[in-house]
Structure 1
Amino acid sequence: MSTFFSIQSLSTHPSEPNPCSPADDQPSWALSDDSSHGSSANSGEESILSVIDGDEQELVLLDKSCLELTGEEESLHGLRTAPLMTRAAFCKVQARTENTQYGVLGVVTAIQPKTDFKLSDNNRLYLNINTPFSAIVCGVQGSGKSHTVSVMLENMLIPDYRAIGVLQNPLCGLVLHFGEGGPTSKPCEAAFVGMSDLPLLTPRIKVYVSRSSLKTMRDVYSSFGERVVVEPLLLGEGELDAQSFLSMMAVSSSEAAPLYVQTILSILRDLGESFTYRRFKVELDSRTFNPMQMSGLKQRMALLESFMDKDHARQPQAASRFSSGQLTIIDLSDPFVDPAAACGLFEIMLRLFVRADVGTGKVLVVDEAHKYISAQKGSSGLVKSLLSLTRQQRHLGMRVIVSTQEPTVVHPIVLDLCNVAILHRFSSPTWWTHLEKHVSADFSDTDAFDKVVKLKTGEAIVLAPSGLGVVRDGADDGTVNGNTGLREFGRRYLLMKTRRRVTADGGASVMAMQD
């Protein structure tokens, strides 16, 4: 009965009969007696008209024209949401679009397997800056992987430079970087996006490092001059919630956790939303631990406190860390920070990055992921955060780029969720088998792996099922009346040559004899 009344409440005719009732095949006046036949007949006719009118209203939401995009609407929708598109596809609907931002990624040299897609002598490949996407970029050293990532960052952060595309509203970027610490450390290659001899506006670069290696890391980045600002990574107490504390303690679940960790979880549950670090410390001091438990607890607490800003504990730092047109690099190259600790800090910074209100889109780069993301327990929290972020990227306005030499370290579900894969040269059959299981491209009847092995520096195989191209006149894959139309790449893959950079190249190989 409640269902019946809820359906009736949606109708513009509250007195009309339920069109789903068993007596729907006969008018209501047929059930009336003879004494009221005249008035009942009139009301019956009105009821029939009401039912017909109600049917028409119901069909509005089921009309195919409301559910399907056709013609121009389909083209515009595809252009707005496609992560990649050829120049021909962009030009086809360019006159009917507004607020378009794109960057030149490279040039398409072939589309495989056998295809009806049109290729011209200057078939540029565009990266759609407006739409959120997730991409995996892999390849061995010297294959052009870091170069491609830097080109993507240039497209998203350098405005008003026509040679690389159209960008009016630069994004806000975050790079997670971890390497070997000490005096032999190398700067994160993404920092070179802030250096150029050309007349263009490069993004502001801020690098946050471990306080224990501040002097060393400032020396590492000293060659950049004032273009790169290096500061210690310090978290205010107001930025630390219970989840951040669990990330630093490398606690991903309560299952099989040490006893002292169970005690910590109990304290956090009791504090709930009223958690502060000071209150947590008070509660922790009131508990009793044996010497072995105390040793592990002190070690983790010391690590957490080494990244806390005790002088400005109540002042949030998000406004200065993240802003439009700025690239923030979290560089935890430090001999005293292991991969598990780095993952905990990365997870905290990723959460702060998502929460930050920057008034523009965002891009996250997981740089050299193979150095800190692996099967070890310490990376599981970060992997879960990446999975959640990739699933919600459209709602968060986030672009996610995972860069790695070894694709097997990337969680299989992350690979499944990525809508762009850029494969530079590698020769491992194991890597190829791993990727082949998680991408949609049709490699069954081609020598695609042989092509990957033989790729030259800067060349790549690109997989983008929702990317857009233009088919030839008369193509039989859905073209209407022989007219050239937009089509998604689907299971096809592209051979691409990445464009040259407009900023400094920090990844050039060191040769015994320079040219």
Structure 2
Amino acid sequence: MPELTIGAAIDDDAAQVQLDPRRFNRHTFWCGQSGSGKTYALGVVLEQLLLHTDLPLLILDPNADFVRLREVRSSAGEAEASRISGLDVRVFRSGHADGDPLRVRYVDLSPASKAAVLQIDPIADAEEYNILLHLEMVSETFDTAQMIRDLRASGDQMQARLANRMENLQVLEWDLWSRGAASVVDDVQERPRATVLDLGGFDHPAEPKVAALAVLEHLWARREERRPVLIVIDEAHNLCSPEPATAVERELTAKLVQIAAEGRKFGLWLLLSTQRPTKIHPNVLSQCDNLALMRVNAPRDLAELVEVFGFASDEAIRRAQTFAQGQALFAGGFIAAPTFVQMGERLTQESGGDVRVPLRA
């Protein structure tokens, strides 16, 4: 059975540390404060999954940290470089970045999600919601301007109100929409080895959340196909807040809670990476059976981790306060026993990174 070599033991640098790839069929929580090396280290594990399994990865990437996942470093071994460069890794960019654009079809969203985008409450705005439910949108010919004109020309007051709402909110003008053309969910359905969604370049703050919602709804709607995929959510607090504030955030959080509770038996497995456990919805956090913990100083966060992850001792978790950059505790189903690790080197290029302070020469 292949093992995922991720680094060396902190107390014995000659002892390689390996994860059991079979145990990524449980949800994983990855945590570390800013500067701990969390994103770099996560890349080490994702590379190993690409090299040694056939598990497809769906990476929701808010900071464009993984958009170079198919670009191999010069320091990588020839065999590993050849294997990674030959993998089907698809990257979709938001905003004005070069590359394939990240687009989804509005018409593919569930009625509840369409209503959330348009800020329509099913009870308070019952008549508008009912019109939205029965509004026919043909994906191949979807034209937002024509739809608004048709609604206004209908002579129905509620349809005219819906048209005004669409126009006033301007959500149908978002760059996110494919307007009947190809959608990223079509690629996700093909299960390439990795699909990277760069969520950070959109203008409207709801667009990355709607992009994530569209993909998660698609996966859930087809869950009975039982086609495994590891859903990697970097900076997961942006998508899985314990206190969602908007209708879109509530729909997205509800879908993640559903996947966390029921998705494992369908092959929908989560890997949530964030700086603080208290920023993740507790009904998602409590479903995680694997833990990767990097440096964390906040006493409240450490107490939360101790309470949730009983398979790691209080002492082991609190040692995270002393970790240097790139050091981590791994515990749970994917490793034989709680282990302290100095993470290994990346094989692919890391994007993103901090902006340096300009210094005077």
- Mapped to 2, the partners of 1:430 and 1:131 lie a distance apart of 28
- Mapped to 1, the partners of 2:159 and 2:113 lie a distance apart of 25
- Mapped to 2, the partners of 1:432 and 1:177 lie a distance apart of 25
Match of 1:346 in 2: 212
Deviations 1:40-66 (A, max 9, x none): xxxxxxxxxxxxxxxxxxxxxxxxxxx
5+ residue gaps in structure 1? 1-99, 111-118, 159-165, 180-187, 219-228, 470-488
Match of 2:105 in 1: 235
8 Å Cα contact 1:343-1:381 kept in structure 2: no
Which residue, 126, 139, 145 being the options, matches 2:32? 139
Q: 1:399-478 to 2 correspondence within 5 Å?
A: 399-441=269-311, 443=313, 446=315, 448-449=317-318, 451-464=319-332, 466-467=333-334, 469=336
Q: 1:151 to 1:294 in 2, by over 3 A?
A: same
The question of 1:173 aligning with 2:57 is answered yes
- Mapped to 2, the partners of 1:293 and 1:359 lie a distance apart of 38
| Structure with more relative contact order (C-alpha pairs < 8 Å, separation 6 or more) | 2
Q: Which AA in structure 2 matches 1:412? A: P
Match of 1:500 in 2: 345
Q: 1:311 to 1:369 in 2, by over 3 A?
A: closer
8 Å Cα contact 2:105-2:180 kept in structure 1: no
User: Aligned-pair distance for 1:363?
Assistant: 1.4
Deviations 1:159-199 (A, max 9, x none): xxxxxxx43xx2222222335xxxxxxxx112232111343
User: Aligned-pair distance for 1:423?
Assistant: 1.2
Q: 1:299 to 1:348 in 2, by over 3 A?
A: farther
SS of corresponding position for 1:190: coil
Deviations 1:352-380 (A, max 9, x none): 24556999631111111234543242322
- Mapped to 1, the partners of 2:46 and 2:168 lie a distance apart of 38
Which residue, 193, 200, 203 being the options, matches 1:333? 200
Q: Which AA in structure 1 matches 2:275? A: Q
SS of corresponding position for 2:302: helix
Match of 1:53 in 2: none
Q: 1:356 to 1:300 in 2, by over 3 A?
A: farther
Q: Which AA in structure 2 matches 1:298? A: E
5+ residue gaps in structure 2? none
Q: 1:496 to 1:250 in 2, by over 3 A?
A: farther
User: Aligned-pair distance for 1:128?
Assistant: 1.5
User: Aligned-pair distance for 1:147?
Assistant: 1.8
Match of 1:3 in 2: none
Q: 1:300-311 to 2 correspondence within 5 Å?
A: 300=169, 302-303=171-172, 306-310=175-179
- Mapped to 1, the partners of 2:261 and 2:357 lie a distance apart of 46
The question of 1:362 aligning with 2:235 is answered no
SS of corresponding position for 1:394: helix
- Mapped to 2, the partners of 1:512 and 1:310 lie a distance apart of 42
The question of 1:106 aligning with 2:7 is answered yes
Q: 1:208-223 to 2 correspondence within 5 Å?
A: 208-210=92-94, 213=95, 216-218=96-98
Q: Which AA in structure 1 matches 2:19? A: Y
Deviations 1:393-446 (A, max 9, x none): 3322123111112322100111100011211102111222232332214645x3
Normalized against structure 2, the TM-score is what? 0.77
8 Å Cα contact 2:185-2:214 kept in structure 1: no
SS of corresponding position for 1:206: strand
The question of 1:155 aligning with 2:48 is answered yes
- Mapped to 2, the partners of 1:141 and 1:453 lie a distance apart of 13
Match of 2:252 in 1: 382
8 Å Cα contact 2:128-2:162 kept in structure 1: no
Aligned residue-pair number: 339
User: Aligned-pair distance for 1:127?
Assistant: 3.3
User: Aligned-pair distance for 1:392?
Assistant: 2.6
Deviations 1:443-490 (A, max 9, x none): 45x3742x11110111112231x4553xxxxxxxxxxxxxxxxxxx5x
Q: 1:152 to 1:280 in 2, by over 3 A?
A: farther
8 Å Cα contact 1:361-1:398 kept in structure 2: yes
Match of 1:393 in 2: 263
Task: Indicate the percent of aligned positions where both proteins have the same amino acid.
Answer: 17
- Mapped to 2, the partners of 1:392 and 1:150 lie a distance apart of 27
Q: 1:209 to 1:192 in 2, by over 3 A?
A: closer
- Mapped to 2, the partners of 1:502 and 1:305 lie a distance apart of 36
Q: Which AA in structure 2 matches 1:265? A: Y
Q: Which AA in structure 2 matches 1:496? A: V
8 Å Cα contact 1:138-1:403 kept in structure 2: yes
